[in-house]
Amino acid sequence: MSAPQQQQSQQQQQQHVRVVEQQQVEPAEAVTSSMESESISASKELTGLTHECGVFGAIACGDWPTQMDIAHVICLGLVALQHRGQESAGIATSEGKCSKNFNVHKGMGMISTLFNDDSMKKLRGNLGIGHTRYSTAGGSGVVNCQPFVVHTTHGALALAHNGELVNNESLRREVLARGVGLSTHSDSELIAQSLCCAPEDVSELDGPNWPARIRHFMMLAPLSYSLVIMLKDKIYAVRDTYGNRPLCIGKIVPINAGHGNNSDTPADGWVVSSESCGFLSIGARYVREVEPGESVRRSCREVATATVDIVERPDFKRMAFCIFEYVYFARGDSIFEGQMVYTVRLQCGRQLWREAPVEADIVSSVPESGTAAAHGYARESGIEFAEVLCRNRYVGRTFIQPSTRLRQLGVAKKFGALSENVDGKRLVLIDDSIVRGNTIGPIIKLMRDASAREVHIRIASPPLQYPCYMGINIPTREELIANKLNPDQLARHVGADSLAYLSVEGLVEAVQLKHRDAGDSKSKATGHCTACLTGEYPGGLPDELSW
């Protein structure tokens, strides 16, 4: 094939890909890609590794047009969830009138680079959903950007998904057996195509029974997902029966509404989000979590958010909310299970002092997710808290960058030492977790170079020893440093005077303390997934599952 012919063939293939992806979506669909994300995705291979994401949905009360700019509300909501994923993002909106077309803009990169005035103007609508994504090997690419839009005989459906289907292979076989083609390896496409197929035992003479379709999917796939699903004029929020991934509801109140209890205040709109941390910035108030197994519906004309179904998990199975959300992923001002993440991290620090005390002059943290635990450690021990690290806020989080080399390079650029606070001091340095062990060694060296007399490391979570199959990037046991070295060996390896972890029991105690102290009956109903710490998976290993 000649060079011009080859170029023409490539252009035709690219055009075909765009047509398949867009189908009947309006021209607001756009895909942008930075040079960095292109180079990352080009080096990846398909390995089925998991990812961590954030989902967000918003709907205004009343018919289009309203005074609320839903696209901007969603964009700000995604900015608040940016810590959950930085590789791609997207927004889909609907005016609530036409079931055939959604306005969609998505692509590779950060939210601040993806969305500008021109793209936001095209995202007209009275309701919409958004997604921000972190993907690992094999999952990074434009084709996997969300929200995922499919077209059914009943109109368009858009879906955004946080989590990982543990039994995705068996579900994929079932969907393919129905004659449905799948163009990606994305769980989100798999879920969307599953919802497009009506259950055999459900009559739909009067139109699609979406609650029944959602229930059918949830019976097939108990783990692990939080979903926001958009149809022409309504949004569904769905959480798996184990409650493994977070999802909560917020109420957009008028600008002149007072603070405190807004239960009687008329709503301007409603939002649903992986975390509540962005609610105040968009004028919303936290209402509650979507319960495990619950499907919630909201339309423009409904007065309140309605529970349309609850799928129960087996009686012998407990709730399995990911405990690592408290440890690392969530922002400190988010609310899970009726308590603020910051408060739990503070309690982890208190518990860590009780389990692993040490004589020292100052307590400090590896910013920022270790800071709350460091304050708790300092308060419980009576040792002064002082900052010792100055963070460069323009370098990304090292745990979720795609390659070891980037992580190691990131450490060198990430921190500076406040040497006057360190010189001649015995230092206790608190971090939230140790994963691969690449970060803590260079930080200890930085403290030594700043003339610290002793450096004691305390980790406000148990050692990570097992991979996660439910949406967290903890890929293999071989990469986890806790499987190679015990605490004493690791201390010598990284150059610390001592090193200790919080116990699994201590972490669970810190997470459940508020409910237990209050005598809350909810503490009996709660349960947490500690699979990455204990190897006890709530549904078993993927290749052992038979749902």
Positions marked active-site: 53
Going by C-alpha positions, the residue among 434, 408, 531 that lies closest to residue 486 is 434
Strands of the 52-60 sheet, one edge to the other? 103-108, 88-94, 127-134, 52-60, 269-273, 248-252, 284-289
Residue 322 is assigned to a ligand binding site: yes
The pair of structure tokens assigned to 300 is 């423009």
| One-letter identity of residue 372 | A
Q: Report the 3 state secondary structure along 24-77.
A: CCCCCCCCCCCHHHHHHHHCCCCCCCCCEEEEEEEEECCCCCCCCCHHHHHHHH
The pair of structure tokens assigned to 402 is 């795609």
Residue 268 is assigned to a ligand binding site: no
Residue 369 is assigned to a ligand binding site: yes
Going by C-alpha positions, the residue among 128, 337, 157, 343 that lies closest to residue 248 is 337
Q: Which residues contact 189 (CB under 8 A, 6 or more apart)?
A: 148, 150, 182, 183
Residues 103, 251, 191, 98, CA torsion sign: negative
CB-based contact 329:52 (threshold 8 Å): yes
- First-to-last alpha carbon distance for the chain, in angstroms, is 50
- The torsion region of residue 337 among left (phi > 0), alpha (psi -120 to 50) and beta comes to left
- Tell me whether the omega of the peptide bond preceding residue 475 falls within 30 degrees of 0, making it cis: no
Residues 317, 289, 62, 132, CA torsion sign: negative
Residue 432 is assigned to a ligand binding site: yes
User: Phi/psi of residue 73, each to 5°?
Assistant: -60, -45
CB-based contact 199:212 (threshold 8 Å): yes
Residue 431 is assigned to a ligand binding site: yes
Which segments are annotated as binding site for [4Fe-4S] cluster? 322, 468, 529, 532
Which segments are annotated as binding site for Mg(2+)? 369, 431-432
Which segments are annotated as binding site? 322, 369, 431-432, 468, 529, 532
